[in-house]
Each structure stands twice: as C-alpha cells, then as structure tokens.
C-alpha cells in the first residue's frame, strides 16, 4: 500500500506537471488569416479575417502593395490565469484593388511588448476585370433568377424592336433585399446610349421617392429603388446594347458592411426604319405616333392688299419632339409669309413617349382679284401600334378677293411722263456770296489732343485688365469666389439641386487650387491625387467625407444640408489659404 507521504508527493508532482503544461499553452502565441474569397472583380472588396491568440498585446495588420486596406471591425478577449495573460483577437480588414492582377498578402504579425512573437501565413488573391455581359432580349429578363441576392441592378425596356423615331423608356432599378442597408451609393455610370436622343425622367427627387415600391420575388421581399429613368428616341437604325449601368455601393446588415459593384444586364434593342411600301412622299423621318392638325382662316373674303391670317395647330402623342411647321402652298395671285416663332406647350411624358402641341401663324397677302383655292395642308406620320402610315389634314379653303377700296373709288387716269429738269443750287437766304455757312474749325489741340488722350487712357485700361487676367493667383481667387457663390446658392429645400451645386462648387475649387478634377475618379485615386499635391491628411479625409455626404443628401432628406454646406465653404476657404 502507498503511504500518505507517497500519495501526497504523487499529487504534487502531477500538479506541477499540469501547471507547467497549462502555462506553456498560455504562453504560446499564434496568428492565422483567411480570405472571404480568393478571386474578386475590380472594385469589389475582399474581407481579410485575422485571428490571434496567446500572449499578444496587439496585431499588426497584413499588407500588400497595390491593395488598399481599411479596418472592418475588431473583437478582443483577455484571460489571466496565475498571472499569465492570454489574448484572443478577431480583427477584420477590407482590401480593395482597382487594377487586375495577382496580389500577395504578407503575413499579419502578433506583437508582445513591441516584439514579434507570431505571424500568419502568406496568401494570394486574384483580381480580374468585371465580366462582359452579352445583351439579352427584354423577354429574357427574369427577376426570379436573382432571388436570394442581397442587392442587384435590373434594366428593362417595353419591347425589343422600335421604329426609327419611336420613343421608348429605359428603366434601371436597384433591388435591395429587406433586412439589408445600402449606403454610399456612388460612381453610378449609365451604360452607353449612342444613337438616341435621351431625356432624364428622374430630375425631380420627389418623383424618385414616389416610384420606390416593394416587390416580392419568390419568397423574398425587396425594395425596388428607381436608379435611372430615360426616355430614349432613336435617331439611327441598327442593333444597340443599352442599360448596362454600373454602381458602387456599401451594403450590409447591422454593423457589418462591405463595398460592392453591381452591374445591370444590358438590353438588346433593335431600331428599324419605317416600311418603304406606301410611304407618303411628304413623310418626315421621326414623325412617329399620333399627329393631329387643326386650323382656320380668320376670313374667307378680302380685298387686294388686305392681309388674311391662317392659324394652324399641330398636336402629337409619341414623338412630340418631331413637331415642325407645316408647309402651306398658295396659288398665283396670293403671297404667303410665315410669322416668325411658334407657341409650343411644355412636353408631357406619357407611356408612348411625349405629348405636346405647337401653334403657328401665316399671313396671306392678296395681290389679284378673283376666287383663289388654297390647297389642303397635311402631315404624314407613322402609327407603330397598327404599323401603317396615316394622314391628318385641314382645308382646302376658298378665298374670294375683291378690288381694293382705293382702286374702286379712283377713275382711270393717263400716266404722263414728266420732263427732266436740271437742278441748280441756290444760295442760302441771308448769306452774301463771300460768306460760308460752316462754323470755324476747332483749335488743333481740341481736334487732335483730346482723342489722343482718350485713346491712350483706353489702351492703358485694356493693358491693366489683361495684366489682372494674366495673374494666376488672382485667377485662382476668382474661381474660388465663384465656387463659393455656387455653394451658397444651394437651396435647402431641394436636396437634389443642393447636392449638385455643392458638389460642383467643391469640384471647381479643387480644379482651381490643385488642378484635380474629382469627376470620374474613384475614392482611392482622388485620395492619392490629393496626397501627391501635399494636401494635409485631415483635409483629404474631410473632402472625401463631403463627397459621400453630397450623395447621401441626394437620396435622403434635407436634415443636415445646411451644416454640410457650411463644412464645404470651410474646406474651400482652407484651400484658398494654400494659394
């Protein structure tokens, strides 16, 4: 049997062994990293998750030349056992690449008292260009194929084939799954729309909010936010790819957000010419839809020399932009002149395109006695709903012209050609033959000196103005003053217009002082451009935050717009101090 002392010694031995092993584990440190994806598209984010544990005070972030890293969240827990400290770090970083390539992410390091005690493995991420999407027919667009996605863009048109001059609406909607939040919607780039006249239908910010609606796709609910609405009128024949809009945004749920680039599937649109068969000779290209002519003469009886007025109105639904002044032909004995200008209503947007009307006036001058026939006025147009040509006409009219009152009252006379008489000048009354009717000439200094002095002063003023314009500092200050006026003119009750004016003012200030145009630049490129010009880091951050704030108030309410305007003016003033 084991005595009491032997049993106590065994217990102490195993206790020390356990304590030593536990302490060694507590002192061990390790760092690992993993990627949310090893292959991403240009502009998309990849999440780098770092896990560290052991005797570590802090984690040094991983890095990779060519990638932009920013913090994405962190959680830390610390355990102390028998005076030994053990930490658990979960740190997330967001990496973004703007150029395709294969990037090596160097190890993350765990530090203890400033000394590296552990480091992670090395990983690689591949960045490729966004795929080129082939255009599809509008009938092939299927919302159900996007069910379950957090966010996506969808472009639609009513039909695949339109006639030259027939308007069609292009709709681009941003679908956001309920439960997710979208922030910092920026870099919205509409697809190519060459070959079309386009009209923006979302100029009114309130209209954008009214068109927002809830859509259920399968079993998933989405908020459909109208991103673009265009009225497109084709001006050339061919097959076009439209609607490939791109947008960069930040999407997340709760406090977890990530940047994402979404692209709409392009739409194939065929534009054909109206049929040549049965085309009227006076058909004008673009007159598509429904046209209607109305008009009348102010009187049907007149006299030679007394004008007659014709009032003509043209109303159209479809391509109302194609309304033009109709041609009126008159017979010999009448002369017609068009009154310059027109009276046109503001175009109204309808489902088939645009709706509007214009009114024109003509003046007919009777020159010969008799009954004259004014031929009918007509307009030929193409109706795409039934695919035939139609005519709208007014007239003809009969105009009876009588002799003028003066011709009726005066008897016939014989015209006698007068004899030519030579005219000789006669002396002016009250003057003698040796006197001159002209005043004495002025003194030479009055005749020549004053004009020379005036010309000298004007030339000096011109040179002074040219010198002021050639002063670069003065020119920059002038541009900054105009930028401030633009920012101050931003209305507080119209968030869309306020956003545009403040963004324009800040952009003009950056161009004036730093020769940097922020339009079309990504956030990272703009930041690098400003830092290369020795702009303070604090000021760079303020400029980037303002550009994001402009987009936020454009799609939000007017709260805080005044403070954003004051911040923008302060940034412009700080830029002015650098001149």
The residues spanned by each domain of the chain are 4-128, 138-272, 289-405, 472-576
Tell me yes or no: is domain 138-272 CATH 2.60.40. Answer: yes
Rounded Cα–Cα distance for residues 321 and 340 (Å) = 19
Pairing of strands 301-303, 397-402: parallel
279-309: pLDDT as tens digits: 999 899 899 999 999 999 999 999 998 999 9
Tokens linked to 16:
């020390």
pLDDT of 178 strictly over 60: yes
**pTM for this prediction:** 0.53
Beta bridge partners of 174: 153, 225
Fold match flag (4-128 vs 472-576): no
**What stretch of H or E contains 564?**
helix 561-576
Mean pLDDT along residues 61-77: 77
Which residue is it, tokens 């859509």? 215
What are the C-alpha distances in Å from 23 to residues 20, 80, 82, 114, 119?
Answer: 5, 11, 8, 21, 21
- Rounded to the nearest integer, the mean pLDDT of the chain is 81
Name which of 290-294, 380-384, 408-412 the model is least confident about: 408-412
What CATH topology corresponds to 289-405?
Immunoglobulin-like (2.60.40)
- Name the residue with higher pLDDT: 339 or 57: 339
Answer whether 230's CB lies under 8 Å from 193's CB: yes
CATH number of 472-576: 1.20.120
Which residue is it, tokens 């009225």? 231
What are the C-alpha distances in Å from 541 to residues 120, 194, 274, 430?
Answer: 31, 37, 56, 90
User: In percent, how much of the chain has pLDDT > 70?
Assistant: 82
Q: Which DSSP letter does residue 127 get? A: E
Domain 4-128 is of which CATH architecture? Sandwich (2.60)
pLDDT at 556: 62
């Amino acid at each position: 049997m084991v005595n009491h002392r032997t049993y106590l010694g065994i217990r102490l031995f195993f206790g020390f062994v356990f304590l030593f092993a536990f302490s060694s584990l507590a002192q061990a440190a390790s760092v690992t990293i993993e990627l949310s994806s090893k292959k991403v598209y240009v502009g998309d984010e990849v999440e780098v998750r770092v896990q560290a544990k052991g005797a570590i005070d802090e984690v040094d972030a991983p890095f990779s030349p060519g990638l932009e890293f920013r913090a994405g969240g962190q959680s830390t827990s610390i355990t102390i056992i028998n005076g030994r400290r053990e930490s658990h770090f979960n740190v997330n970083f967001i990496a973004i690449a703007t150029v395709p390539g294969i990037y090596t992410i160097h190890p993350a390091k765990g530090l203890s008292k400033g000394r590296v005690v552990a480091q992670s493995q090395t990983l690689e991420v591949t960045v490729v260009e966004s795929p080129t999407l082939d255009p599809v027919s509008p009938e092939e667009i299927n919302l159900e194929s996007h069910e379950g996605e957090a966010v996506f863009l969808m472009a639609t048109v009513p039909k695949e084939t339109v006639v030259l001059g027939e308007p069609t609406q292009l709709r681009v909607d941003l679908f956001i799954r309920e439960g997710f939040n979208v922030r910092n919607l920026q870099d919205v780039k509409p697809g190519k729309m060459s070959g079309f006249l386009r009209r923006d239908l979302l100029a009114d910010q309130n209209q954008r909010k009214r068109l927002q609606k809830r859509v259920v796709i399968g079993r998933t609910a989405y908020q459909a936010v109208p991103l673009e609405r265009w009225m497109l009128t084709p001006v050339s024949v061919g097959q076009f790819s439209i609607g490939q809009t791109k947008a960069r945004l930040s999407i997340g749920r709760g406090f977890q957000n990530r940047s994402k680039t979404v692209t709409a599937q392009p739409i194939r649109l065929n534009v054909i010419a109206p049929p040549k068969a049965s085309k009227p000779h006076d058909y004008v290209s673009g007159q598509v839809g429904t046209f209607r002519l109305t008009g009348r003469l102010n009187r049907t009886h007149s006299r030679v020399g007394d004008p007659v007025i014709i009032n003509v109105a043209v109303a159209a639904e479809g391509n109302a932009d194609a309304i033009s002044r109709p041609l009126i032909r008159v017979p010999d004995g009448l002369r017609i002149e068009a009154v310059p200008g027109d009276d046109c209503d503001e175009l109204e947007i309808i489902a088939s395109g645009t709706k509007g009307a214009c009114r024109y006036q003509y003046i007919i001058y009777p020159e010969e006695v008799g009954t004259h026939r004014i031929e009918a006025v007509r307009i030929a147009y193409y109706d795409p709903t039934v695919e035939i040509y139609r005519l709208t006409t007014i007239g003809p009219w009969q105009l009876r012209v009588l002799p003028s009152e003066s011709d009726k009252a005066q008897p016939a006379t014989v015209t006698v050609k007068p004899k030519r008489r030579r005219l000789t000048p006669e002396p002016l009354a009250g003057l003698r033959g040796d006197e001159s009717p002209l005043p004495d000439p002025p003194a030479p200094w009055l005749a020549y000196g004053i004009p020379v002095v005036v010309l000298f002063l004007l030339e000096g003023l011109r040179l002074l103005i040219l010198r002021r314009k050639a002063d670069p500092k003065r020119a920059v200050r002038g541009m900054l003053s105009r930028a401030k006026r633009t920012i101050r003119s931003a209305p507080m009750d119209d968030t869309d217009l306020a956003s545009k004016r403040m963004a324009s003012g800040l952009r003009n200030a950056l161009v004036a002082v730093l020769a940097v145009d922020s339009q079309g630049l990504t956030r990272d490129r703009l930041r690098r451009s400003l830092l290369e010009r020795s702009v303070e880091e604090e000021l760079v951050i303020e400029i980037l935050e303002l550009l994001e704030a402009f987009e936020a108030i454009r799609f939000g309410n007017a709260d805080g717009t005044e403070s954003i305007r004051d911040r923008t003016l302060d940034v412009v003033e700080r830029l002015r101090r650098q001149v």
